[in-house]
Structure 1
Amino acid sequence: MRKSYRVKKEEDFQKVFMQGKSCANRQFVVYVIDKPNQVHFRVGISVGKKIGNSVARNWVKRRIRQSLTELKPHLRQDCDFIVIARPPISGVSMADTKNNLMHILRLAHILLA
């Protein structure tokens, strides 16, 4: 995913946390904020140390990014959102990761039908 599709700055992360709405399931928490003037969506991914060592955290981030890349045409373009991984995600297959991510994005109204 290109850099223009990422939320990178701390102030942008904090704005989404403070002003955005959240949804959660067992594997993920998603915060979303509407940005009506934006050309395309931006996403931030957060994987904490409870998930495991750096290898495990990067492995989870790669799976989330891959799932979002596959879902890109079906996502709302006028929002910023942050995906936070929860500890049960570390032992989940790629298909289950994508299904759980699709579930939470539907609940947050980011994934279009």
Structure 2
Amino acid sequence: MQRQHRLRKKRDFSRVFRGGNSIANRQFVLYIKRNRSSELRLGISVSKKVGNAVTRNRVKRLVKEVVRAWIPSLQPDVDLVLIARNPTANMGYHEIKSSIRHLFQKAGLFHSIPEQE
């Protein structure tokens, strides 16, 4: 994922947590906050409860890949923080994609629906 589409700083995460709305399903919690820029920015959080470092990094890579493909279809002026819950440790790419798609549709983040695979 490109640098302009990442949330990296603690204060950015805190701003989204404090001022944003949350939506959840069994696998993920999504915090959404409008931003002043014209770029979508995403932060990913995977706790140690999900698994060891290898598992957590795998989940982060899969989430980044799913969202990277959808950036043109998503609203551009939002900050998102996606928190992975424990079931994501055993999920594959297509399961994660389906779960995130469900969450994004529930939040109304798509301005055009991406194609199904």
Question: Where on the TM-score scale, by shorter chain, does this alignment land: which range?
Answer: over 0.9
Structure-1 separation of matches of 2:7 and 2:27: 21
Aligned to 2:89: 90
Q: Provide the secondary structure at the position in 2 that maps to 1:29.
A: strand
Query: In the alignment, is residue 28 of structure 1 matched against residue 28 of structure 2?
Result: yes
| 3-state DSSP of counterpart to 1:8 | coil
Which structure 1 residue ranges, 5 or more long, are not aligned?
Answer: none
Deviation readout 1:10-39 (Å, 9 max, x if unpaired): 11100000000000000000000012x312
Alpha-carbon offset, residue 71 of structure 1? 1.1
Letter in 2 for 1:16: V
Supply the distance in 2 between the matched residues of 1:2 and 1:70 (Cα, whole angstroms). Answer: 11
2:15 pairs with 1:15: yes
Amino acid at match of 1:62: R
Instruction: State the match for 1:99 in structure 2.
Output: 98
Relative to the length of structure 1, the TM-score reads: 0.95
Aligned length: 112
CA shift at 1:87, angstroms? 0.2
Aligned counterparts of 1:70 and 1:107: Cα–Cα separation in 2: 19
Matched-pair contact (CA < 8 Å) for 2:22–2:31: yes
Length-normalised TM-score, structure 2: 0.92
How far 1:73 sits from its partner (Å)? 1.2
> Among the aligned pairs, what percent are the same residue?
38
